[in-house]
Chains A and B, each alone.
Chain A
């Protein structure tokens, strides 16, 4: 273990994967999270282990990251997925017209596909809209939004990282313009805390801009919420996507005894103010039922919203136009040393985000330690609390 101490702000998928990565590289890690771990965006995501096919046409960079990570995660986190694959279904002629672009995109980004006739698709998933024209099978999967990051955290903890939930960061500590630690409030004991650090990583997702402002630097993150609706019943076993340009309510992810329909997309200023507009709930039902008619009458278990931490122009209108890829900021470029921000991406790509970030962190600390997270099999999520 090196003598270097890195503090990570944010206990979402990104912070969790980073804590694991840095710990494996021999860095001392303390992760601070204002609530329970994964209580930000991560725990609330759709639960889709992306194959990348959704982004294959418009966002190939993101698609490539997804398929690569999808393969790695199956290896390092066995038992954390419902691995029944996914279907992209073409319902209308317009959907069908998208087929060629889609197949081309998948081929170019290395996503395996298999085209199924209407009859084959209906045999696999009898609840699909019988009007469907064809379907394409891709290696999508269902993940448990909380448990996968818990496995990163459990493994990091086991290897010596310190995880501090219910610790809210309220400011950074400086030496000149160099960040040398964090300060905040320990909400378990109701008292202030400070932590010294050789480097601080801001992994606060949609809150990353709030943290960056503590160092007077700017991170162009756009909190872009989406609504998700969970209905009772497992109406399919595979993940069902609409074969068209990514839009609203075009993914249904079965999980345990529920089916989750999502999502919509808009932009907000404050990720702590997310409402769940009634018309979005209706839209999810409507769009979901175009693929799986029975969803129209499935009773609702819950409807909620979560904010994507998208990187991009603040002028964005809906968030759909922004890439799902991620970006690491070394704030030394703005004159602030000892401070790095990682935002964007997907929960599926958290490991890759962590790898790139940790590469930068160890370089800045002057260490020579390669990434090992592609091979190390994670502890089960239960080990986080046990």
Chain B
């Protein structure tokens, strides 16, 4: 991490957080409140994800959540007072976590309906 990392990642965390407040609100309303009975049935989900707009929005949501969660985990890890070597390990681990979340989510999108 170079010296600017502190500011950069703090800003990413702050803006992803603000974005999440909006995206999550939308996700909640779309997936749970608008849906009949609080959850979409399988058929509904498939139909819903058919729209490219929805798919884009949900993908964005997925990425932002992954980044925000990874940075949050990293902050908690830093709370533990890590030595420099361990910190690099944590950076790698949380980056891996974020990527895993994103790819798993994308994989799910491709499976739904298609499978």
Are A and B in contact, CB atoms below 8 Å, in the complex?
no
Residues of A within 8 A of B (CB): none
